[in-house]
Structure 1
Amino acid sequence: MSIDLSMPWAIGPVLWVATAAAVYGIFRFSFRRDGMHAGALISALGLLAFIAALIVHLWRPAADHVKVLLVAQIVCTGALIFFGRLLWSVQKQARNTVAVTVDNPKIIKGILAGLAFPVILDSAFYLWPVTSGYCHKLSGSYSISKCQGQEYMFGLHDLPMEIYFGVLLGAFGLSVTICGVFGLCRNIFGAKRGAVMPVIDDRAAD
């Protein structure tokens, strides 16, 4: 197994810097026990996307690119939910259960919007798969140079980049959908239809 260090890289310098920031964010939120903040989840999602892209770059699976993308999204979605649950369990602040009602249209809209992310993204990658020679297929010197400039910053238009952005958006959408469905199911089976779940404050138990 060898890594091609010639420029442009398969995973560009911008994504390396973003991953370094994500690692810092994860350790910062974990050691400070700040809980399940948006910044921590975004950091975890960015790190997962980079790990998935790097594995695909080194491994180069023979399976179809859409199948690889779906597997990466599912695995990273599970890891993201696990990480969020871990942050939720170790945070120092009082944990408040969000009030959820079955007949709240915002919950349904959130689930559908989250599901739309991976569906639209995967469909786009299925119809227009990326290739390593993408820039040279464009017409016009300006378009080619602009495309190559983007590759020097973000990486080649290749499978690793497809996986990176596919995980970044797809895993986010799947996580929102799964958490929304779980919240609705817990509300349906744990309370009467249309009744608001009580807000739980850990400080009251202490």
Structure 2
Amino acid sequence: IGGAFMLSWIVLATTMSVGGGALITWGGLTLVTALVVAVAWMAFEGAHILPVVTWCHMLTGDLSDGEGNWAANGMRLVAQVVGAVLAIILSTEAGSLANLPDTVFADSMNIAGIGDDFWTVFGMIAAGAIWWQIHTRCNTAWVSAIALLGLGGAMTLTGAHYMGASIADGGTEIANVLVNWITDGAFVGLGALISVKIDGFIKE
């Protein structure tokens, strides 16, 4: 919750300072914000402050373990959204501040246009595969954080923030945001799973 709180606080502060988020392009973050997130993730020692990280752990874990894997990581995903909601409430003073930026919610489900935009999906899968190999081989938080920063352009790193923003806004575009929150993380996690399988085949 603490890590997700920090992430949403930074994202919202950035959108308020750059006029509605025009500069947010790095996996949903500005470069400066992404660097701050990377440093913070090092401080959290690789904790699950991002949905993509949780999905990678989930899909490379024991897929038959409903309680230890699916339930535990599912609760982490929920905790990330809770942290985002709390950060948004605090940063906006429960919506009472004037001239708040409009949150740009998804106007459609990404999965609906997958046939026309499959290269983006392939990019997410590839980024997940590369990042997971770096994360597991180096086993160092700062290396994982820098790798995540480098591959962030192919991922959506602000899924929990948008889920929190949608909930705090009374459920605006909640169906689209919910599906995108799930699929954006799942595709990265799928890439991590594929990389593990390929690595296993090579070692055999």
TM-score, normalising length: structure 2: 0.36
Between structure 1 and structure 2, the one with the greater Rg is 1
TM-score, normalising length: structure 1: 0.36
